[in-house]
Amino acid sequence: MNKKKRIIFAVAIALVLVAGWALVNMSNYNDTQSIQKEQTATTAPQQNEASLTNNLQKAEETVKNSLVRSSGGKVTRKKVEKYNLSLHEASFYEQLGKTGKAACSLCPHSCVLDEGEAGHCRVRANVEGKLRSLVYARPITMHLDPIEKKPFFHFQPTEKTLSVATAGCNMRCRNCQNWHISQLSPFEMDEVKVKSPKEIIKLAKSNNADIISYTYNDPIVFYEYMFDIAKLAHANDIKNTMVTAGHINKKPLRKLCQYMDAVTLDVKGMTNEFYRRFNTGRLDPVLDALKVIDEEGVWLEVSYLVIPGENDSEKDFKKFSKWVKDNLGHGTPVHFLRFFPKFKMKSKPATPVSTLEQARGIALETGLDYVYLGNVRNSDAENTYCPNCNKKIIDRSGYRINELHIDGGKCAYCGTSINGIWK
Ligand code: SF4
């Protein structure tokens, strides 16, 4: 190549690079614009329903598209193997004829995925026409916790539990406390550990944990891993608990319930609109999930994170309390949790304790027997009182139990049965 040709070649390469840089930045700019639209939508309740829904749908599309990019493009067998992730075939999906698409029916998002595409949860992907769980046996964290931390206040108090989580989540809660785990693509994990269900059981046993908790992210997204561990746990006299937002379809949930001993389900708000704005989900399937868990005889506690100005009206508290009482019974423990500014809701203040006390008062007036406040230090509302004689039967400080006056599931003072699973 002579000197003139070399100069023309170098100029051409430079032009291609500049054009590429401009295109990438233009697409980033478009994404930023859409996300800004979403943020505006979530802080502008006065917008009409149609424009809000439209904005949110666009924003969800943007997030979904960015997911494929965040895993570095198409999810292929080669890439999954390179990152030491899993190709475990998922349950609850069907292949759509010869289209190469896979339709997931695990949760109400009902993702229909093209070859190489990951779902809304980031951790289930269509690889070669089959739906795969990328995080089967790939926990991102394992930790020993007091069972009270989940929160469970009426299930085997003072027990230790081995908590297990993976990357990914099927919700996008703007206030997520564990966003660094739940909003991560498995391809972004710093270190990929491999732990089979058998190894998790061994770990629980070596730490004298009689309970395993599937928690931190929503365990629905690692359904197959959770199911296999839970089945093996029961065969080894270990109990299972799940902490979830309950955005799951009925069929997989019923199947899971056969190995689940207790569930804490976090209700985010009392309208579909709230779920659309803050969580990318819907309330209706969550209420169905609560009924299914109750029907299946799994111990259930319900939490409700109170966000100032968003789900903290008297009407919200009444609606929530009445729904729990009418559908799950007055003996269902309820936890109103204090919100702290996190993730995409850093500009909101923490929930005033007076608002939480108002919520508790309304729930007790509605007729619920056990109503607690969470994330509030030195509150009487972290203790359990007998609904008959009103004596304090469990004294707690945070996750610590100081006194326990329950004998054989009954109040030690008056003999009234106390709803729960006691040791
Ligand atoms: S579990 Fe994941 S892939 Fe399946 S429908 Fe829900 S978000 Fe989509």
Structural domains present in the chain: 141-370 (3.20.20.70), 383-423 (no CATH)
Q: Is 171 in the pocket of ligand 1 (CB under 6 A)?
A: no
Q: What are phi and psi of 11, to 5 degrees?
A: -65, -40
What residue ranges of the chain have pLDDT lower than 70? 1-72
Residue 18 confidence (pLDDT): 41
Residue 5 confidence (pLDDT): 56
Residue 73 confidence (pLDDT): 80
* C-alpha 221 to ligand 1 mean position (Å): 7
Pocket probe mutation, ligand 1, options 120, 185, 282, max atoms within 8 Å of Cβ = 120
Residue 10 confidence (pLDDT): 54
Q: Is 51 in the pocket of ligand 1 (CB under 6 A)?
A: no
Closest-lying ligand 1 atom to the alpha carbon of residue 105:
5
Residue 75 confidence (pLDDT): 97
Residue type, 269: G
CB 359 within 8 A of CB 317: yes
Grouping H, G, I as helix, E, B as strand and the rest as coil, residue 390 is coil
Pocket probe mutation, ligand 1, options 111, 136, 223, max atoms within 8 Å of Cβ = 111
Q: HSE (CB half, 13 Å, CA atoms) of 220? A: 29
Closest-lying ligand 1 atom to the alpha carbon of residue 247:
6
Give the CA distances from residue 389 to residues 401, 410, 413, in Å, rounded to whole numbers and listed in that order. Answer: 21, 12, 8
Q: Is 67 in the pocket of ligand 1 (CB under 6 A)?
A: no
Residues 6 or more apart from 376 whose CB is under 8 A from it?
A: 338, 353, 356, 382
Q: CA gyration radius for the chain?
A: 24
Residue type, 46: Q
Residue 378 confidence (pLDDT): 84
Residue 255 confidence (pLDDT): 98
Q: Is 168 in the pocket of ligand 1 (CB under 6 A)?
A: no
Q: Is 122 in the pocket of ligand 1 (CB under 6 A)?
A: no
Q: Is 362 in the pocket of ligand 1 (CB under 6 A)?
A: no
Q: Is 104 in the pocket of ligand 1 (CB under 6 A)?
A: yes
The percentage of the chain sitting over the pLDDT mark of 90, rounded to a whole number, equals 76
Residue 13 confidence (pLDDT): 52
Nearest Cα to 209, choosing from 261, 161, 142? 161
CA dihedral 244, 223, 115, 81 (to 10 degrees): 110
Q: Is 119 in the pocket of ligand 1 (CB under 6 A)?
A: yes
Residue 284 confidence (pLDDT): 97
Residue 377 confidence (pLDDT): 86
Closest-lying ligand 1 atom to the alpha carbon of residue 124:
3
CB 205 within 8 A of CB 87: no
Residue 342 confidence (pLDDT): 85
Residue 3 confidence (pLDDT): 54
Residue 268 confidence (pLDDT): 96
- Give pLDDT tens digits for 4-52: 555 555 555 544 444 444 333 333 333 333 323 333 222 222 333 344 3
pTM for the structure as a whole? 0.83
Q: Give the separation between CA 366 and CA 384, rounded to whole angstroms.
A: 18
* C-alpha 128 to ligand 1 mean position (Å): 17
Q: Is 110 in the pocket of ligand 1 (CB under 6 A)?
A: yes
Residue 113 confidence (pLDDT): 97
